[in-house]
Amino acid sequence: LAVPGLFRPGYFGRLLFTVVALMLMPLTMQVYLIYQFIYGKLKITDPLLHIGIIVALFLVPTVIAAFAVARAVRAGLSDTHRVLSQLGDGRFDVSAAAQTADEFGEQAIHLNNVIHRLREMYDRIETMNQNLEATVKKRTKQLETSLEEVRTLKSQQDGDYYLTSHLLRPLSSEDCESETIQVQQLVRQKKKFRFRDQSGEIGGDLCTFHDLRLRNRDYLVFLNGDAMGKSIQGAGGAIVLGTVFKSIVARSAMIKSQGEKFPEQWLRDAFQELRTVFASFDGFMQASAVVGLMDQLTGFLYFFSADHPPLVLYREGKASFVPVDAQTMRLGVEGLGEGFHLSTFSLQPGDVILAGSDGRDDLVLSTSEDGIRQFNDDENAFLSRVEESGGDLNELLQRIQNTGEITDDLSLLRIAYRSDGAGTLSHPDLAAKLRESRTAYRQGDFGRAALLYEQLSDLEQSSTEHLFHASYCHKLDRSYTTACDYGERCRMRAPYYVRNLVNLADCHRLLGNRERCLEILEEATRLEPENPSILKLQSMLHRISSPAKI
């Protein structure tokens, strides 16, 4: 419709040219008539006729031009309206007719270009929608499959949790029929689960206690433990801990020789057995624990803490930590020597002992707007919660929850001694026995003196001096094995008592236990290297080991 390089006037220019061309002839005739009339060459007999002819010559071209313009404009607008209406209805197979070479023709060309591009875009979008629908269906199916797999795995995992929790449940036994001691426990594991219509919880915390009889005395043996790891890993450690401990208690009840152990020996052997079992996991399974024996008659407590939070004493409305000479290493940690440290404590009527895992301190106190959590770092805060609760476990749990969000497994064990406030048995003959034992010693009756000191150690359980004198008198009476037993008891309770260490080393020398003798003597030497008794024993051992001169 357009030839490149040629001048193409606009629509208004062409319209003006047409009007001028149509009016040129009447204008020329009008000028001619006016000229002839002015110079008298033309005589007008009927001027109205001439005026009508001239007006007609003016109007006819104008009407013709107006009609042509209106028709052209109407045709262009009508075609454009048709095309736009069909596009609005979503039809992209239409096209505009370029009937002229003016702006309407160009408009038709541009409109066809737009239609072509819209058609291409629509085809691409349609193709993309078809592909997208297929992709969405495919992804939805994959998601449903994955979700079903997750549900299956979740169900299997919850089943494992359920079975494991049932394995753990009998280990948290409550076996105490004492008339002087009341025991309660509370365990809240962090991981909750639901298997079918059963809900439960699983974790690494464990509380257990039993009646135990050693050397014709009744004890309460208890354990509060916290195995390393969350959920199934922690529960596995708790199962190992509880199973081994329960087997130790059961063996002590069934085997007579086990029931003849002293409390200190029983705890040491229990620790060594637990340590050996956990050491077999090469550090991948660890546990902290507090294990104790409480004399049900006197309230005297023997215990060791394997890297466990300290015991709490609640007495007359005040809470305080039970003093510990040294922490025993965590179960499952090797390479730190023997690592066993025994502690003792005398309870009074009305006293309450509380044991708890580190969940009692692992609290989120607050969370800032940017998500930073503030953790509790004050272990003394637990003492305040104990005082506020009056030593009641349920109230104590509520107080802890009010303080902050619990972020770990939590276990609490409450042991009340003579909660009725009844006094302990008195021993008016204690001073008399002490005088009698000293008299027997001065008279050289070492066997009787040793027996009296044994009785004194049972009556006054907190005294390590009675244990030392019993060991020393048994040595003088040549009862070396018994002397070693009492000396070892004294050593476990007072590891820095040099007199006992020297005596115990000498007892092992007399029994022929040279390695044990040297080991204990080395401990004493580190404490008092210039002690005359140590130097004398070292010299004696040196003479024994030196070859005889010929």
Which class is domain 430-545?
mainly alpha
Q: Does the structure show a pLDDT above 80 at 295?
A: yes
**Domain ranges (residues) in the chain:** 1-166, 172-417, 430-545
Lowest mean pLDDT segment, chosen from 41-50, 80-89, 207-216: 41-50
**Distance in angstroms (rounded) separating the CA atoms of residues 475 and 504:** 9
Q: Does the structure show a pLDDT above 60 at 274?
A: yes
Q: In what order do the strands lie in the sheet with 318-321?
A: 181-188, 410-417, 352-356, 312-315, 318-321
**Distance in angstroms (rounded) separating the CA atoms of residues 306 and 327:** 6
**Distance in angstroms (rounded) separating the CA atoms of residues 244 and 223:** 12
Long-range contacts of the stretch 499-503 (C-beta < 8 A, 24+): 499/468, 499/533, 500/464, 500/467, 500/468, 500/471, 501/527, 502/531, 502/533, 502/534, 502/537, 503/468, 503/471, 503/472, 503/475
Per-residue pLDDT at 84: 76
**Distance in angstroms (rounded) separating the CA atoms of residues 504 and 483:** 8
Lowest mean pLDDT segment, chosen from 99-113, 120-134, 241-255: 99-113
272: Cβ contacts below 8 Å, ≥ 6 apart? 340
What are the tens digits of pLDDT across the range 128-172?
Answer: 877 887 888 888 888 888 888 887 777 777 777 788 887 888 888
Per-residue pLDDT at 431: 87
Say how far residue 327 (Cα) sits from the centre of its chain: 26
Per-residue pLDDT at 49: 73
Per-residue pLDDT at 412: 96
- The chain-wide mean pLDDT, for the chain, equals 85
Q: Strand pairing of 405-406 and 352-356?
A: unpaired
Q: Does the structure show a pLDDT above 60 at 548?
A: no
Full-model pTM: 0.74
- Please name the helix (run of DSSP H) or strand (run of DSSP E) that holds residue 448, with its range, or none: helix 446-459
When pLDDT is averaged across residues 58-82 and rounded to a whole number, the result is: 71
**Distance in angstroms (rounded) separating the CA atoms of residues 105 and 207:** 95
When pLDDT is averaged across residues 474-497 and rounded to a whole number, the result is: 95
Q: Look at residues 529, 534, 491 and name the one whose alpha carbon lies nearest to residue 509.
A: 534
Per-residue pLDDT at 1: 47
Please state, as a whole number, how many other Cβ atoms lie within 10 Å of the Cβ of residue 47. Answer: 9
172-417 folds as Phosphatase 2c; domain 1 (3.60.40)
What are the tens digits of pLDDT across the range 348-375?
Answer: 999 999 999 999 999 998 888 888 889 9
CB contact at 8 A, 54 and 29: yes
**Distance in angstroms (rounded) separating the CA atoms of residues 429 and 426:** 9
Evaluate whether 172-417 and 430-545 have a shared fold.
no
